[in-house]
A and B are shown apart, each in its own frame.
Chain A
Amino acid sequence: MALTEQTRLALREILARYPKPRSALLPMLHYCQSEEGYVSPAAIGACAEELGLTKAEVGAVATFYTMYKRRPIGDYYVGVCTNTLCAVMGGDAILDALEEHLGIGNDETTPDGAVTLEHIECNAACDYAPVIMVNWEFFDNQTPGSARELVDRLRAGDPPLPTRGGRLCTWKEASRVLAGFYDGRADEGPSAGPASLIGLEMAAERGDRAPQMPRVASPGTGSVSMARDGAPR
């Protein structure tokens, strides 16, 4: 990585967030990915230099974590969950369909540099299975057909909106956020998807609610009158 003065400043800004410098290493590696799209040998050298570590020490960390890529990847990283639940619900069929449709295998990139395809592990969205992540945004309840349409639009430069998340940014832009540089876009997207809200909706239909919080302080419990969620008013 050609270490510009700006890169050095960013790495030092990350470093300043932590009580001990080495804690900055993971976000620093995310930041390097935001500049180059992957963690290059030069980036490992730069992090090592900033932290006073050897390249071997930094390389050992960079290769341990699956989100750090060791070679350039496409603008859109498409991860198909094939952990058991998503796989059974259709994730395996979706991955097969995408490999065939794109003409690439796992951990490969389309020749136009638009899409890198990989199978991923459980991404904490099992109530929306089968799930695809694009640049770590959720595309819920996928089918082989919807997945083909999704990658076609990514390749056409017309990325669809994630199911629960902000407008898609590029892999490099996403990596910058993960490095701790907020991009001002938290207000995009919904609060929650339908499956996240199903229990809440059923509770409302059934008239179910948490017991009322006490109005008067109970001795020894430190509780006083409060009106907040969980306390019917």
Chain B
Amino acid sequence: MSPQMGTKTGTPKPFALTPVLTANWAQPRSWTLAAYESRGGYAGARQALAMSQDEVIALVKNSGLRGRGGAGFPTGMKWGFIPQGDAKPHYLVVNADESEPGTCKDVPLMLASPHTLLEGVIISAYAIRAHTAFVYIRGEVLHVVRRMQAAVDELYANSFLGPDVLGSGYALDVVVHAGAGAYICGEETALLDSLEGYRGQPRLRPPFPAVAGLYASPTVINNVESIASVPAIVSGGAAWFRTMGSEKSPGFTIYSLSGHVTTPGQYEAPLGVTLRDLLHLAGGVRGGHRLKFWTPGGSSTPLLTAEHLDAPLDYEGMVGAGSMLGTKALQIFDDTTCVVRAVLRWTQFYAHESCGKCTPCREGTFWMVQILERLEAGDADAKDVDVLLDTCDNIFGRSFCALGDGATSPVVSSIQFFRDEYVAHYTGGGCPFDPSAATLFAAEAGAAR
């Protein structure tokens, strides 16, 4: 396959992996400043600090970079909403609370190369005229917290952070902040409440964080991968970034393959590749089985099936297929997996993580768990599937934040594609699947029997 990239429109692009964010992960001691600088690291930060703030914002706007945390909002535009010349302090907050089920890209990035993120933090904070940045990392990844702490210490020791960043006269402090276990804190306004020392509950918008965010001051909140993409954009330029991906979804991104796939892992590629392409690389669905369903970007994005293998994995392509790109967490499930069991477990997760602030989400997820448990146990009847859909109708669009909407995604999409399997659960007296057949060690367990 040709590594050539970037024909503008028309015929499908030849597909090549494009390691940028992942390029240095195999380097010895990749997490150190010395290793990162030896590969050209912090050149982008030096360049950006020599530009005006508005030029940096314009560059990121021109690149077309869109948020990699799920919503896909244009990053440069988000920065542009920050008022300029006001008297209030500005803040940059990195959302490193990676918790969406299936999502596993930011954690390996921060573990292997914390400086990729921190170089992005310097550039982004400079652009939005912030002098304090926070990296809010979920607390359940101890060694990632250590690597970030050590990287920040190294930057202060070498005057990459502090009162005079890289001799530019620009002052920046970075605080590494560990969360304490709450999925909802990945929602940006809940994250802000958490960072202010409150329960992590979402805020009413407007006002948006760009106007009144952390401490009621202008604040930009970006995902780890979004911020980590900025140094390469500064070094390579907007046009270079746009040689990858499509017009509306430009650039490289990390796709995370997990589940019943021969070689799960992180695959960095241009936006717009297809699951068929990625599965081909990853050796396909595990031997002897076929693809049953998958998530494009975590459990909050509607399930897709084998009929969607050729849909482009970009923002528009996934909406066109009836789902969302989300976090590009491609969870692959083969024909041994009971979709009702899978959806029950996700729904239990949403019920557990619902913050309790709004009624549709708090009560709705609770009731859906009851119904799905009845289905899985064989105690449900024909009305229950319709009650599930009706409940979803009352949660979706009526919840305070996206958690409630996300909770309906697996339920509605699984009924759309696998209604027969739901029916089999109440006509056949329970779950027809053997859970041990779906495990990774199914062969081992079978041999032991």
Contact B25 A165 (CB under 8 A): no
Stretch of A4-12, A105-113, A186-194 with 4 or more beta carbons under 8 angstroms from chain B: A186-194
Contact B194 A26 (CB under 8 A): yes
Which one of B182, B236, B239, B267 contacts A230 once the chains associate, using CB atoms below 8 Å?
A: B236
In the bound complex, residues from chain B placing their C-beta under 8 Å from that of A194 are 265
Say how far A227's CB is from chain B's closest CB, in angstroms. 5
Does chain B have a CB within 8 A of A71?
A: no
In the bound complex, residues from chain A placing their C-beta under 8 Å from that of B439 are 88-90, 93, 130
Say how far B176's CB is from chain A's closest CB, in angstroms. 7
Contact B237 A213 (CB under 8 A): yes
Say how far A224's CB is from chain B's closest CB, in angstroms. 7
Contact with A along B93-113 (1 / 0, CB 8 A): 000001111111011100111
- B253-286 at interface with A (beta carbon < 8 Å): 255-260, 263-269, 281-282
CA gap between A227 and B41 in the complex, in Å: 9
Say how far B300's CB is from chain A's closest CB, in angstroms. 12
Contact B150 A226 (CB under 8 A): no
- A9-37 at interface with B (beta carbon < 8 Å): 17-20, 22-27, 29-30
Q: Known: A26-B197, A226-B43. Is A143-B441 also a contact (CB below 8 A)? A: yes
Say how far B372's CB is from chain A's closest CB, in angstroms. 12
Contact with B along A177-209 (1 / 0, CB 8 A): 111101111111101111111111111001111
Contact B140 A210 (CB under 8 A): no
Does chain B have a CB within 8 A of A151?
A: no
User: Dominant SS at the A interface?
Assistant: loop
Contact with A along B317-351 (1 / 0, CB 8 A): 00000000000010101000100011001100100
Of B55, B178, B263, most A-chain CB atoms within 10 Å: B178
Say how far B209's CB is from chain A's closest CB, in angstroms. 16
Contact B31 A186 (CB under 8 A): yes
Does chain B have a CB within 8 A of A137?
A: yes
Say how far A72's CB is from chain B's closest CB, in angstroms. 18
Contact B101 A122 (CB under 8 A): yes
CA gap between A186 and B32 in the complex, in Å: 9
Of B103, B232, B236, B435, most A-chain CB atoms within 10 Å: B236
- A118-149 at interface with B (beta carbon < 8 Å): 120-130, 133, 135-138, 141, 143-144
In the bound complex, residues from chain B placing their C-beta under 8 Å from that of A64 are 182, 199-200, 355
Say how far A137's CB is from chain B's closest CB, in angstroms. 6
Contact with B along A25-68 (1 / 0, CB 8 A): 11101100000000000000000000100000000110011111
Contact B199 A60 (CB under 8 A): yes
Contact B197 A229 (CB under 8 A): no
Which one of A66, A128, A138, A211 contacts B18 once the chains associate, using CB atoms below 8 Å?
A: A211
Say how far A3's CB is from chain B's closest CB, in angstroms. 19
Of B22, B89, B352, B445, most A-chain CB atoms within 10 Å: B22
Which one of B39, B51, B102, B178 contacts A122 once the chains associate, using CB atoms below 8 Å?
A: B102
Which one of B25, B30, B44, B239 contacts A226 once the chains associate, using CB atoms below 8 Å?
A: B44
Say how far A22's CB is from chain B's closest CB, in angstroms. 4
Q: Number of A interface residues at 8 Å Cβ cutoff, please give it.
A: 101
In the bound complex, residues from chain B placing their C-beta under 8 Å from that of A128 are 104, 264
For A232, give the chain B residue with the smallest CB separation.
B3
- B232-255 at interface with A (beta carbon < 8 Å): 232, 234-240, 243-244, 252, 255
Q: Known: A210-B20, A213-B240. Is A177-B142 also a contact (CB below 8 A)? A: yes
Contact A200 B178 (CB under 8 A): no
Say how far A198's CB is from chain B's closest CB, in angstroms. 3
Which one of A65, A122, A185 contacts B103 once the chains associate, using CB atoms below 8 Å?
A: A122
Does chain A have a CB within 8 A of B390?
A: no
Q: Known: A64-B182, A210-B20. Is A197-B265 also a contact (CB below 8 A)? A: yes
In the bound complex, residues from chain A placing their C-beta under 8 Å from that of B17 are 199, 202-203, 206, 208-209
Say how far B422's CB is from chain A's closest CB, in angstroms. 17
In the bound complex, residues from chain B placing their C-beta under 8 Å from that of A217 are 237
In the bound complex, residues from chain B placing their C-beta under 8 Å from that of A186 are 31, 143, 146-147, 149-151
In the bound complex, residues from chain B placing their C-beta under 8 Å from that of A178 are 139, 142, 145, 178, 180
Contact B22 A199 (CB under 8 A): yes
Contact B111 A164 (CB under 8 A): yes
Contact A202 B98 (CB under 8 A): no
Which one of B143, B215, B333 contacts A88 once the chains associate, using CB atoms below 8 Å?
A: B333
Say how far A163's CB is from chain B's closest CB, in angstroms. 10
In the bound complex, residues from chain A placing their C-beta under 8 Å from that of B146 are 166, 177, 182-183, 185-186
In the bound complex, residues from chain A placing their C-beta under 8 Å from that of B151 are 186
Of B112, B182, B329, most A-chain CB atoms within 10 Å: B112
Q: Known: A17-B175, A65-B179, A192-B26. Is A223-B238 also a contact (CB below 8 A)? A: yes
Contact A121 B239 (CB under 8 A): no
Say how far A214's CB is from chain B's closest CB, in angstroms. 6
Contact B140 A200 (CB under 8 A): no
Contact A123 B140 (CB under 8 A): yes
Does chain A have a CB within 8 A of B6?
A: yes
Does chain A have a CB within 8 A of B424?
A: no
Does chain A have a CB within 8 A of B306?
A: no
11 pairs across A/B with beta carbons < 8 Å?
A61-B198, A65-B180, A88-B342, A122-B99, A124-B104, A127-B256, A127-B257, A187-B31, A203-B19, A211-B6, A221-B62
When A and B form their complex, which 10 residue pairs have the shortest distance between CB atoms, in order from nearest? A223-B237, A228-B40, A198-B265, A186-B150, A65-B180, A25-B197, A22-B197, A126-B258, A195-B265, A199-B267
Residues in A lying within 8 Å of B, measured CB to CB: 17-20, 22-27, 29-30, 51, 60-61, 64-68, 79, 82-85, 87-90, 92-93, 120-130, 133, 135-138, 141, 143-144, 162, 164-166, 174, 177-180, 182-189, 191-203, 206-211, 213-214, 217-218, 220-224, 226-231
Starting from the known contacts A126-B101, A126-B103, 14 additional A-B residue pairs (CB-CB under 8 Å) come to A64-B200, A67-B181, A83-B349, A124-B141, A126-B258, A133-B140, A135-B142, A180-B178, A182-B150, A184-B150, A197-B266, A200-B266, A210-B244, A223-B239
